[in-house]
Amino acid sequence: MTVALAGIFLCQLLGELICRLFALPLPGPVVGMGLLFAYLLARGGQGQKAVPKPLGAIADQLLGHLSLLFVPATVGMMRYFDILSANALLLTVTLLASTALTLAATALTFRLLTRAKS
């Protein structure tokens, strides 16, 4: 399991290095996740077989505590509470509209894919 965790951190480190080296406007961990995905694709296999058991176990552990990773961001947002409260109506409308558009796009995509499959 330690090797799998080191592999995840290595992908994150490589992602950070690539982003800084090429001045990409992306977070390093996102690029690192792409690198890990590319590794899993190159490794082959389908479904659960594509992911090594130790890596899957570490990923499950991290996902089990994912909500804790949002605490610092939420606390940081409170620093800008006055700006957020001044724009509360606009933010609420924007969130509701974007959620509705996302649901509609997802439903449409699902409908198109199921129609194409049959």
Q: Are residues 34 and 90 in the same domain?
A: no
Residue 110 has pLDDT above 90, yes or no: yes
Q: How many domains does the chain have?
A: 2
Q: Token match 């947002």: residue? A: 77
Q: How many other CB atoms are found less than 10 A from the CB of residue 12? A: 19
Q: Which residue has the higher pLDDT, 72 or 17?
A: 17
Is the pTM higher than 0.85? Answer: no
Q: Are residues 77 and 114 in the same domain?
A: yes
The domain in which residue 108 lies consists of 70-118
How many DSSP H helices and E strands does the chain contain?
6, 0
Residue 35 has pLDDT above 70, yes or no: yes
Q: Are residues 12 and 46 in the same domain?
A: yes
Domain boundary among 19, 39, 64: 64
